[in-house]
Structure 1
């Protein structure tokens, strides 16, 4: 029998508790336990005037931004609508039932002003990271580093030739930020190579075809994570080239040491971090084991002997060729000795022309040159250490653990929907990457430290 409501009459008074209407297993309840914004007022106080009308509560704006990044709400206009309608979001933002949601334009005004001037979003990220450390989720034993390309808010069809540069009339906040980072080694000074195209809307974004398909303008988000629980220890925004990503790795490691006293015993990364200079920096300056494949292009593909076929004699400081002859740094005596190390940090070991002329292996060694030369980096000791580590069982484990940082990038793009930036300029990229990393750490805290089940009174 079909039921029908009869005599429906509105009550004169309602008793409504927002607390009871938010499910116990909702994500906002899980992350709310770890959101401590008690210090942001003191952090922002120097950037507010002592007179005038009261501003929008900065804690409210931060809570709303966390909702947006935790739940993949990319538009601030839509975020305001969702917070207005969703009871769980209202509860998390401490708005109650009748609290007024600020206009979406308020976020832009504060982001370009007080939030960036005070580096608030960096402060927020480090506050959540400190909570992770306090809860024992960061071991500090093994770190992994990697970078991922994020498309910039710039149309690939509207790029201009890189050699032509920007027009003198180009103006805007993104252009000003681009000019400000021209000398920054993480952006403009990372390479002397002129990009093929520049975006007038966001000139700091780098034109790249690294994904193999259509080229696009992009930034790189760089993560340094603790592999024990995949907690993001640091995040850095750079231009989308390898040299800048290596610099970001150094900055993040030094910052984790200086600010949180985290000294990793080993660092895991791909071959982009396997240059001789990077390996030497890890081994000699910080005593970190490089669980990184060595970036080495010495393997020959024309059938002749590669550098690996020559044995280095450390005591004699010479290479021994397959025929048993020595290759030394200097075979001739000069009135004015030439430097043994070139500007790229490479030493050249040369065989004697007399030995090579009489050698039966010359067609397989140096068929087109009078004598064989072997380059050796001044940081070859660190490279040898990385090669030795690559043959251990610990290295196999590290290669498996390193995938955790790639999983975080997949989560960033698929779940948090950050596959394309919404803000422009280097500062916009930093803001988005800091908020996204904060959201990922909060979600990780909620997952690893579930709240105790609530027992209703009898």
Structure 2
């Protein structure tokens, strides 16, 4: 017999607990164990008035933001809808069935005000690092650093050539933030090279063609991770140029040492961080072993003798060529002493013209010049150390470990859906990068420290 449609009738009383309807293996249950926001209120207290109407609970907003970044919900409008409907999200936010969800505009208001004024999202990220340290997930024996391009929320066509600059009528919050960071070495002052194009919507975003895709506007998120369990120990937002990314590496290492007392023995990175000044900073200033390929353009492709064919004599401060002759920084005596190194920190070693003209290797060594020149950095000692490390077995291990930071970027873009920014301006990029890094650390904690009694994969 065919059943009849039942009509839902409201009961007078319900015996209902949200706790009973959230699965024990739900991700947010594992994450919730490591979220301690007891210090949030005290941190924000100076930024609230002692009178007036009570505001939305800041802990509720932070918990909602953590849900959004942990679960890959990019829209705050959709986040409010999901928290309203999803029982697990309500449980994580400490909302009962009658608890009201704040309007999406509340997040924007607080983000541009109290959250940024108090640097709250930075504090939230550092809280996750401290928890990872307490759980024993940070060994601090080795760090890895890298940067990844994140598309900015702008249209490619709404821009002007870089040499023209911004029109005077362009205004907005993102433009004001761009003007504030013009002298910041991580943004406007990172390089004297003008970008090919400047966005009218978000001028601080950098026009880049670093990928195989069509050129686009982007920011760079920089990660400093611990190699033991790939915990993100620091994050920095910069413009998408190599100089800014190297500066971010220095800032993150110094901040990690000052904030958490972490002093790594080695740093693993790619060739972008292998410049002579950066290697010298790591070796001489910080005492960190650079497991980094040396940024070196001395190799030749025309078959002539390369710099590696010459032997450096440290005691005599000269190079010995394959023909047995010396190349020195100076072959003349000047009345007024001249600096040996140029403005870029390189010393040029030159052979005497008499030796080169009489040498049988002249055509193989310097076929188009009168004499042979060898360029040596003032930081060559640090470069030589990096070259020696690159020949060791430990370096091969480091090459494999460096993939951990690349996997974090893949997780950031594929799982957390942060392949394109939603907020604009340098501050918007910082906010999103801090929240995303905090979410990744919390998910790492949930994975490495699973719920008691649950089987692990």
TM bin (shorter chain): over 0.9
1:323 partner SS: coil
Matched, 1:199 2:199: yes
Q: Which residue of 2 aligns with 1:105?
A: 105
CA offsets 1:335-378 (integer angstroms, 9 cap, x no match): 22321111110111111111100001000111111111101000
Q: Which residue of 1 aligns with 2:72?
A: 72
Q: Which residue of 1 aligns with 2:117?
A: 117
Alpha-carbon distance in structure 1 between the residues aligned to 2:109 and 2:9? 46
Q: Which residue of 1 aligns with 2:417?
A: 417
Matched, 1:330 2:321: no
Q: CA RMSD in A?
A: 1.4
Alpha-carbon distance in structure 2 between the residues aligned to 1:8 and 1:283? 73
Matched, 1:172 2:163: no
CA drift of 1:11 comes to 3.7
Q: Which residue of 2 aligns with 1:136?
A: 136
Distance 1:149 1:7, change over 3 A: closer
1:188 partner SS: coil
Q: Any residues of structure 2 matched to 1:166-245 within 5 Å, and which?
A: 166-245=166-245
Alpha-carbon distance in structure 1 between the residues aligned to 2:190 and 2:229? 32
2:157 partner SS: helix
Q: Any residues of structure 2 matched to 1:42-441 within 5 Å, and which?
A: 42-441=42-441
1:19 partner SS: helix
Alpha-carbon distance in structure 1 between the residues aligned to 2:208 and 2:11? 63
Alpha-carbon distance in structure 1 between the residues aligned to 2:191 and 2:54? 46
Compare 65-74 and 364-373 and name the one that shifted more: 364-373
Compare 303-312 and 111-120 and name the one that shifted more: 303-312
2:374 partner SS: strand
Distance 1:173 1:350, change over 3 A: same
Alpha-carbon distance in structure 2 between the residues aligned to 1:7 and 1:370? 99
Question: TM-score w.r.t. structure 2 length?
Answer: 0.98
2:228 partner SS: coil
Contact conserved, 2:25 with 2:451, CA < 8 A, in 1? Answer: no
Alpha-carbon distance in structure 2 between the residues aligned to 1:77 and 1:65? 12
CA drift of 1:232 comes to 0.1
CA offsets 1:230-284 (integer angstroms, 9 cap, x no match): 0000000000000000000000000000010000000000000000000000000
Alpha-carbon distance in structure 1 between the residues aligned to 2:10 and 2:419? 47
CA drift of 1:64 comes to 0.3
CA offsets 1:148-186 (integer angstroms, 9 cap, x no match): 000001111111111111111111100000000000000
Alpha-carbon distance in structure 1 between the residues aligned to 2:9 and 2:427? 55
Alpha-carbon distance in structure 1 between the residues aligned to 2:46 and 2:275? 44
CA offsets 1:105-147 (integer angstroms, 9 cap, x no match): 0000000000000000000000111000111100000100000
Alpha-carbon distance in structure 1 between the residues aligned to 2:52 and 2:9? 47
Question: TM-score w.r.t. structure 1 length?
Answer: 0.97
CA drift of 1:333 comes to 1.2
1:13 partner SS: coil
Alpha-carbon distance in structure 2 between the residues aligned to 1:335 and 1:437? 59
Distance 1:11 1:310, change over 3 A: same
Contact conserved, 2:25 with 2:454, CA < 8 A, in 1? Answer: no
Runs of 5+ unmatched residues, structure 2: none
Distance 1:8 1:308, change over 3 A: closer
Distance 1:18 1:190, change over 3 A: same
Alpha-carbon distance in structure 2 between the residues aligned to 1:199 and 1:383? 38
